Structure 1
Amino acid sequence: MQLELRHLKAVCAIAEAGSVSKAASVLGLAQPALSAQLTRIESALGGCLFERDRRGARPTALGELVLARARVLLPVMSELQQEARRFAGEAETVGRFRIGSTGCPFLTGFVRRLEERFPTALVTTHSSWSADELAGLVAQGRADFVLAGVCGDAAPPRVEGLVWCTVSADPVFVLLPEDHPCARLDEVDLRALADVKWAVTPGDGCFETCFATACARAGFTPAAIYEVDAVSCIELAHSGSAVALCQPMFRQTAGLVAAPIAGAPLMWRHVLGWHARSPVAALADRVVRHAKAAHADVLGRNPRYPAWLARHPRFAPVA
């Protein structure tokens, strides 16, 4: 493996955080992914960089050597890249991207694209079920962008100074056990699920009302709605205790099927927001393009979704 700047950034993050798990949170990565990356880095360098135990991660002698060089090299490379971009007329004025997100299925790809395009910028993430909360963080200057979900044609949070752009508009699917009678249908009629219980993730906005309205149009009232976290939604669906409402790019999981609802009565939009007067506003158009590209990357996670899109061109990815 060739050592890259991002590897040195990861080593510095682990040293500064004092543990791999804390560094993973700062870097917006899963802890196992960062652990695996550290193993590859150590293999490339020929020895352990950290002593790891219950108390955290402490640099070894080799780790101290690598950190000393990295702390010299990273600022020099950052300065070189900034000077080169200024010379080319493409100077980047941002040293970090602080991203707030409400359970976005393409957040990982979005972060990866930002890191690749802006290799000297530190990209961090903050998660919340509330789009209003995250929009408030942007307005207060405590976050740079918010990637939020809104129901149907509903407006994103109305916060003074924030600019919003739609990244994607996707139908809502249902998550069923693979042996459910409706699991293999091309589309599931809501009326066939009139007697089931439902599971949804929390959020502000009108989604629950819109779902109840869709059920009323299908001729029934939902038996019960469990508002739970994403993991519990999956567990309830897997056990057959409830049908979960999910995004159509839900990753294939053993025993579960994400199936479209006939007539696509529910829609979920992902919107990206930033403050018009923030330092990152000049980069917003490029950041939006990266978000749209990250969305396109995950459309095939559920093999049924691209085929469904081909039959429903009005849901084509946002240009």
Structure 2
Amino acid sequence: MDLELRHLRIVRAVADAGSVSKAASLLGLAQPALTAQLKRVERMLGGALFERDRRGARPTRLGELVLARARVLLPAAKELQDEALRFAHTSSPGFRIGATNGPILGGLVDRVAAERHVSTYTSWSTRELTSMVEMGRLDYVLTGACGDSGTPSGSLLWETISLDPVFTLVGERHPAAAEKEVELAELADEQWAVTPGDGCFADCFAMACVRAGFTPGTIYETDVTTCAHLAQVGRAVVLCQATHQAAPGLVMVPLAGAPLRWRQLLGRHPTAPDAEWVVAQARQAHTESVRRSPVYNDWLARNPGFGTTPNARLHPH
């Protein structure tokens, strides 16, 4: 087995934490697993790297030698990775955009593709897309989060594109279809459908229902087409973004008081190309999607403070 950077990270983590147990916690590993890895590193390097007792772990002379080299090599490797990503981004002929399910990706791709080549990657998982941007496999990620939640964790830079209410989709024969808006409590006996994700939306919806005085029934987590079908046949009420374009046979109905809110977010690698311009295109794509929704336009006239976040008029470099 050859010595790898991950082995040096283990040595540095134990030295910095002062104990194997604390280092395991910081690295997200079980202590036995970290202990076994440390022993393998010590066998590779020919001796004990730490003296361990009740007071913790202290580097041996060999450990001090390895630790000194690790503190040089690990930052150098990180710098090399960052430089490689910067080079890849600056030499790339276009943009690589990842996205979760959302109504403005098409508009963003259309606007950006008028200037540059665009490739896309879609996933239900914000965590997966964020990791791909951090690794340099994507330049941007277009995703969303509940209105009161923070931005996803990690090293990406985030911009809020919009703050939108969550509306409902019902079949055209549903009693709520004729209403200008509906109280969430009036839907207490309904089944629900929503597209999947790895954020906190399900918890936020459950809490909104509790505040409205009921516990939600069955929640079908499935794809957009199936959600639409369940609403059309009266099997479920669909929770959707306000910029959603309703299919034939469906009616979009706002929830009174906007008990659920959704932020459109654009995350980027710190070295992503033409960042300000891409952010501006995303905001414009959202504005255009609002214009295509008479229901949302009408609702915005009565509910200021929502919609596309302000931005300057920017141009590509």
Normalising by structure 1, we get a TM-score of 0.67
Shift of 1:99: 0.3
Match of 1:187 in 2: 181
Q: For residues 284 and 272 of structure 2, what CA distance do their matches in structure 1 show?
A: 23
1:217 to 2:204 alignment: no
Percentage identity across aligned positions?
50
Secondary structure at 2:162's aligned position in 1? Answer: strand
Match of 2:138 in 1: 143
1:246 to 226, 240, 245: 240
CA deviations 1:115-145 (Å, max 9, x no partner) are 11x2xx3201100011111010000000000
CA deviations 1:175-230 (Å, max 9, x no partner) are 00112111121111111111110001111111001100111111110111111111
Match of 2:110 in 1: 112
1:200 to 2:194 alignment: yes
Match of 1:315 in 2: 306
CA deviations 1:40-96 (Å, max 9, x no partner) are xxxxxxxxxxxxxxxxxxxxxxxxxxxxxxxxxxxxxxxxxxxxxxxxxxxx96511
1:73-84 paired onto structure 2 within 5 Å: none
Match of 2:220 in 1: 226
Normalising by structure 2, we get a TM-score of 0.68
Alignment CA distance shift 1:237-1:274 (3 Å): same
CA contact (8 A) 1:250 1:301 kept: no
Shift of 1:317: 2.1
Shift of 1:300: 3.0
Larger Rg: 2
**One-letter amino acid of the structure 1 residue matched with residue 130 of structure 2:** A
2:151 to 150, 156, 165: 156
1:297 to 2:291 alignment: no
The structure 1 segments of at least 4 consecutive aligned residues displaced by more than 3 Å after TM superposition are: none
CA contact (8 A) 2:134 2:269 kept: yes
CA contact (8 A) 2:171 2:251 kept: yes
1:268 to 2:262 alignment: yes
Shift of 1:149: 1.0
Match of 2:97 in 1: 99
1:165 to 2:162 alignment: no
Alignment CA distance shift 1:212-1:232 (3 Å): same
Secondary structure at 2:175's aligned position in 1? Answer: coil
CA contact (8 A) 1:166 1:272 kept: yes
Q: For residues 100 and 303 of structure 1, what CA distance do their matches in structure 2 show?
A: 28
Secondary structure at 1:292's aligned position in 2? Answer: helix
Secondary structure at 1:313's aligned position in 2? Answer: coil
1:7-86 paired onto structure 2 within 5 Å: none
CA contact (8 A) 1:93 1:279 kept: no
Shift of 1:302: 2.6
Q: For residues 151 and 310 of structure 1, what CA distance do their matches in structure 2 show?
A: 22
Shift of 1:279: 4.5
Secondary structure at 1:195's aligned position in 2? Answer: coil
**One-letter amino acid of the structure 1 residue matched with residue 106 of structure 2:** T
Match of 2:4 in 1: none
CA contact (8 A) 2:170 2:251 kept: yes
Shift of 1:249: 1.8
CA contact (8 A) 1:167 1:271 kept: yes
Q: For residues 237 and 203 of structure 1, what CA distance do their matches in structure 2 show?
A: 20
Q: Size of the alignment, in residue pairs?
A: 221
Q: Which runs of 5+ in 2 are unaligned?
A: 1-89, 311-317
CA contact (8 A) 1:145 1:274 kept: yes
Q: For residues 236 and 170 of structure 1, what CA distance do their matches in structure 2 show?
A: 24
